[in-house]
Chains A and B, each alone.
Chain A
Amino acid sequence: MNKTISLVAALMMVSAGVSAQSFDEAFNAQRAMYGKGHSFTFEGQTYTTDHPEEVAAAVEANADNAAKLLAAAKDQHAQVAAVDFGWTLTKNLLKASAKALASGDFRKSMDISAQAQYHARMGMVQYHQSQKEWVMAVPE
């Protein structure tokens, strides 16, 4: 009996261990360990740990680019606010970005906009995920 239980358990553990890691899992693990700007390999390809918003912000810091990034962040925030899944820091980040833009600190504004847009995008991801998965948390 003990052997049977151990075998079942071992099979379950092994099957869990060999299941392929998704790109998102690999990205998140690398990002958590090394932060942004780090390179890693996934299925033979090389990637960086930068979020798309950070990539978009890695352009020349000028008034036009800063204004575009802020507008994009505001737009993304409006989308997540419309489904009531906003995060608390986003509004203040948008304000801080606008303030930096107004004072001519374009790099700061662009970096903060990238962060705000990331928050808003992840809020949307969370919204869609929670619509699908919430029922799995219900005791039965």
Chain B
Amino acid sequence: MKIIKSLLAGASLALVASVSQAATSGNTLATVDPEADRLALQSYFQKRFPKVAVSDYVNGIYALDAPSREQWQEIEEFPPYEFDVEEGEELFNTPFANGNSYADCFDNGGIGIRQNFPRWDEGQGQIVTLELAINQCREANGEKALGWKKGKIAKVSAYMAYTSRDNVFDLQIPNDEAKAAYLDGKQSFYARRGQLNMSCANCHVAGANILIRADLPGPTLGHVTHFPVFRSKWGELGTLQRRYGGCQKNVRGTPQKTQGEKFRNLEFFQTYMSNGLVVNGPGARK
């Protein structure tokens, strides 16, 4: 009887807790509060993993799972992305045919600026990711745009991230249009999709550090800080949006367009959630 009572008490508390944690507003432009969202998400992870410092979330799943962290630290002794960063630096410094270079397109010559992306661009009226800015720079200088997911664009992005290490993300939402983009990204993050009926949050909020077959999904907090990443599965460097597409395929959904509005807004939302954390890209992941 005592066991039954305990189970009943546990069940009632779990029900109450789940209700009290779910949001009932924040789904309209009038009610959405990005800063409250960010703090709530941090608080959620702090409650679940009280021994993990918020600053350690930049290390993804390796902040939560000690055995994985041990393996990763060994990988980081000879970082698999090292040559890519070097190649990215070379690409970054190679002048375009017109004599300009990437440095001419960015603040501070493109050095140490990763933390400012993605950002709301007033002139364009849209969110601009670092990879989009790289390709816009190329096209403005008469060069062909690079493929979005891997190869040269990931290498240039990796180099730019590398020069930004330890800089703190502090994305701004300057107006209602930017807030609408944030809200759209937030909705994308929490909306279930695909035949498996799963959202980003299923794996990377509620499912963080819980086995899905043999994999441990990382927490969304700090997710974006270490991109682009060299993934062992890929055997090469890839961008965040390459991963987005992979995730959507994993839940048997047709992937949305790389660097399309939906993915850029999603990246904006996810990065805003990591405001206050530092850039530590590029990273190495399984």
Q: Which residues of A contact B (CB under 8 A)?
A: 2, 5-6, 8-10, 12-13, 81, 84-91, 119, 122, 126, 129-131, 133-140
Contacts and interface: CB of A to CB of B under 8 A. Distances in A.
B213 interface: no
Contacts, number: 102
A8 B12 CA distance: 7
Given A5-B9, A140-B24, 10 more contacts: A9-B11, A88-B254, A91-B254, A126-B197, A131-B191, A134-B191, A135-B190, A136-B22, A138-B40, A139-B23
Contacts of B12: 5, 8-9, 12-13
A61 B23 CA distance: 50
Interface of B: 5, 8-9, 11-12, 15, 20-27, 37, 40-41, 43-44, 186-187, 190-195, 197, 199, 201-202, 205-206, 249, 252-254, 256, 262
A117 to B, nearest CB: 14
Nearest to B24: A135
B9 A84 contact: no
A134 B199 contact: yes
Contact of A9 (B9, B194, B206, B256): B9
A137 B190 contact: yes
Contacts of A6: 5, 8-9
A27 to B, nearest CB: 17
Contact of B23 (A5, A12, A135): A135
Contacts of B8: 5-6, 9-10, 13
Nearest to B36: A140
Contacts of A13: 8, 11-12
B207 to A, nearest CB: 11
Contacts of B22: 136-140
Which interface residue of B12, B187, B256 has the most chain A CB atoms within 10 A?
A: B12
12 contacts: A84-B256, A86-B253, A87-B252, A88-B252, A130-B191, A130-B193, A136-B23, A137-B199, A137-B201, A137-B202, A138-B23, A138-B201
B187 A134 contact: yes
Report, nearest first, the 10 A-B pairs whose CB atoms are least far apart. A9-B12, A9-B8, A86-B254, A138-B23, A130-B191, A135-B27, A139-B44, A134-B190, A140-B23, A134-B191
B21 A139 contact: yes
Contacts of B26: 135, 138, 140
Contacts of B190: 134-135, 137-138
A28 B8 CA distance: 28
Nearest to A4: B9
Contacts of B44: 139
Nearest to B8: A9
A26 to B, nearest CB: 19
Contact of A88 (B186, B195, B205): B195
A140 B252 CA distance: 29
A138 B185 CA distance: 13
